[in-house]
């Protein structure tokens, strides 16, 4: 027993983190993991989060009791409100459960589909996508994982034609995992017009959509703009079919390690009653009960406090703007320096891409040299977490790119 166990490769991004930790070069730069850093390269506790923590702890009723199986009610309600919009019929159309951040939400979604035997269907991810998508769904019995074209390497633009062709040629009723905003890893989002065409094509083939929302607020700084595709689906193009939504609060609240998220089943406008809702809720609860018993409380209380106070909500909105504008500024500073250095190639895609990442176009070999010769760490795909740039290191990174591109 437990002998000859197959050793699996370590997670590529966490392996970067481990190499970086033992690198003694003072100029080292972390553009690997997708976590926001301030202009000093340090993790940032959002002022709205600090304030919410003070409020929670000052409450005489503060304790560490278990939450309900489905999580903190005020979090679930307000989480749904910010992603689906104030005017959406939450009471009749949303069934949800608190999850272990976005990963946990994806897992609950995968498990629910497995319970309903939907895991036998083909499931499509963007090419490329967040690598963990494959593992999460494969471990829940999805053996037919496929890809839809997304990033066109030559033009550094969306391969809309390829995407639409795959939607059209997929078996009717396949599952499509979509990134609603700030696509990971490319930082490239469809335009509003493109979303319409994509969702119409999906409707035509009766595919089931799962939106994986891990960066709401990071693409534009606005929660509603970043939820455009989801809202277009549930209020218009896909309003007659169920839509699944995974929601993470890791990035937009800057509470990566606290694991706050929600999984939502959005029901069609008509045809589903309270009994249907109860039945779906019972399945979500059963999945959570056997795996977590109850979801974690502390981070959920912080997010719920922010979302249910007008004052804190406003402060949080400002915090998201602080983060998204600093990233925006760093994109521009990096490109300005590359232009100044006359680095061969075009670099304007770095400023048109949005969210935390840039798909730089650097090759695997160039990425390896960035790390070895310049102490600049990024994913082997060429994905750089722009949040790792700051005024103190952006020039060093530009020189490193320039050098590896030229030689
Ligand atoms: N989906 C995507 C596309 C992501 O990039 C991430 C985070 N890297 C997640 C889901 C899950 O993040 P978390 O579990 O930390 O909320």
Spans of all domains in the chain: 12-44+324-406, 66-308
**pLDDT per residue as tens digits for the range 32-52:** 989 999 999 999 999 999 999
Pairwise CA distance, residues 332 & 352, whole Å: 10
Residue 384: strand, helix, or coil = strand
Using 70 as the pLDDT threshold, list the residues of the chain that sit under it: none
Which of these CATH numbers, 3.40.1190.20, 3.40.190.10, 3.90.1150.10, 3.40.50.300, describes 12-44+324-406?
A: 3.90.1150.10
Pairwise CA distance, residues 300 & 261, whole Å: 8
Closest CA to 77 of 97, 61, 57: 97
Tokens of residue 192, six digits: 């509003």
Alpha carbon of 127 to ligand 1 centroid (Å): 16
Q: Candidates 16, 33, 250: which one to mutate for ligand 1, based on the most atoms within 8 Å of Cβ?
A: 250
Pairwise CA distance, residues 52 & 294, whole Å: 22
| Atom 1, ligand 1: residue with shortest CA distance | 214
Pairwise CA distance, residues 115 & 31, whole Å: 39
pLDDT at residue 85, rounded to an integer? 98
Beta strands in 220-372 (DSSP E): 243-248, 260-266, 357-359
Pairwise CA distance, residues 269 & 208, whole Å: 16
The model carries a pTM of: 0.97
Alpha carbon of 352 to ligand 1 centroid (Å): 22
Which atom from ligand 1 is nearest to the alpha carbon of 212? 1
CA distances from 237 to 81, 197, 204, 268, 287 (A): 20, 10, 10, 11, 30
Pairwise CA distance, residues 231 & 211, whole Å: 11
* 212 given a catalytic annotation: yes
Architecture of domain 66-308: 3-Layer(aba) Sandwich (3.40)
Beta bridge mates, 384? 358
pLDDT at residue 33, rounded to an integer? 86
Pairwise CA distance, residues 41 & 132, whole Å: 26
Those residues whose C-beta lies under 8 Å from the C-beta of residue 359, and which sit 6 or more positions away, are 151, 156, 185, 186, 187, 188, 349, 353, 381, 382, 383
Sign for the pseudo-dihedral over CA of 351, 355, 361, 364? positive
Closest CA to 247 of 124, 146, 109: 109
Alpha carbon of 405 to ligand 1 centroid (Å): 30
**pLDDT per residue as tens digits for the range 129-140:** 999 999 999 999
**pLDDT per residue as tens digits for the range 337-362:** 999 999 999 999 999 999 999 999 99
Q: Is 301 in contact with 258 (CB distance < 8 Å)?
A: no
pLDDT at residue 251, rounded to an integer? 97
Q: Is 306 in contact with 56 (CB distance < 8 Å)?
A: no
| Atom 16, ligand 1: residue with shortest CA distance | 102
Residue 199 sits at φ, ψ, to 5 deg, of: -70, -35
Which atom from ligand 1 is nearest to the alpha carbon of 248? 16
Pairwise CA distance, residues 300 & 306, whole Å: 10
| Atom 6, ligand 1: residue with shortest CA distance | 214
What is the β-pairing status of strands 357-359 and 243-248?
unpaired
Closest CA to 131 of 371, 360, 379, 353: 379
Query: If residue 275 lies in a helix (H) or strand (E), which one and from where to where?
Result: helix 274-291
Query: If residue 157 lies in a helix (H) or strand (E), which one and from where to where?
Result: strand 157-158
Pairwise CA distance, residues 108 & 264, whole Å: 10
* 130 given a catalytic annotation: yes
pLDDT at residue 67, rounded to an integer? 98
């Amino acid at each position: 027993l437990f002998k000859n166990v197959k050793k699996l490769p370590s997670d590529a991004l966490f392996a970067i983190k481990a190499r970086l930790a033992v690198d003694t070069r003072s100029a080292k730069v972390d553009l690997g993991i997708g976590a926001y850093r301030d202009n000093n390269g340090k993790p940032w506790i959002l002022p709205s989060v600090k304030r919410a923590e003070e409020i929670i702890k000052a409450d005489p009723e503060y304790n560490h009791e278990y939450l309900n199986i489905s999580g903190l009610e005020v979090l679930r309600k307000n989480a749904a409100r910010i992603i689906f919009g104030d005017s959406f019929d939450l009471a009749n159309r949303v069934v949800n459960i608190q999850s272990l951040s976005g990963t946990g939400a994806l897992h609950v979604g995968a498990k629910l589909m497995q319970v309903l035997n939907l895991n036998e269907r083909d499931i499509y991810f963007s090419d490329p996508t967040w690598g963990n998508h494959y593992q999460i769904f494969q471990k829940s019995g999805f053996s037919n994982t496929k890809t839809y074209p997304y990033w066109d390497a030559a033009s550094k633009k969306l391969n809309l034609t390829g995407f639409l062709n795959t939607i059209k040629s997929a078996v009717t009723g396949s599952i499509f995992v979509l990134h609603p905003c700030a696509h990971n890893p490319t930082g490239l989002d469809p335009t509003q017009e493109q979303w319409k065409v994509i969702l119409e094509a999906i409707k035509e083939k009766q595919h089931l959509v799962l939106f994986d929302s891990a960066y709401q607020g990071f693409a534009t700084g606005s929660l509603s703009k970043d939820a455009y595709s989801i809202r277009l689906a549930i209020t218009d193009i896909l309003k007659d079919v169920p839509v699944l939504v995974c929601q993470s609060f890791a990035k937009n609240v800057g509470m990566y390690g606290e694991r706050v998220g929600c999984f939502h089943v959005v029901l069609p406008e008509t045809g589903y009653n309270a009994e249907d809702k109860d039945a779906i809720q019972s399945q979500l609860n059963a999945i959570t009960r056997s795996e977590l018993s109850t979801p974690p409380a502390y981070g959920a209380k912080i997010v719920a406090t922010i979302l249910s106070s007008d004052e804190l909500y406003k402060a949080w909105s400002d915090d998201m703007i602080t983060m998204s504008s600093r990233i925006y500024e760093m994109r521009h500073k990096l490109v300005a320096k590359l232009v100044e250095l006359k680095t061969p190639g075009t670099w304007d895609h770095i400023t048109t891409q949005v969210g935390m990442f840039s798909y730089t176009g650097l090759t695997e070999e160039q990425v390896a040299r960035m790390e070895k010769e310049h102490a600049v760490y990024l994913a082997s795909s060429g994905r750089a977490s722009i949040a790792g740039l700051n005024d103190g290191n952006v020039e060093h990174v530009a020189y490193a790119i320039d050098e590896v591109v030229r030689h």
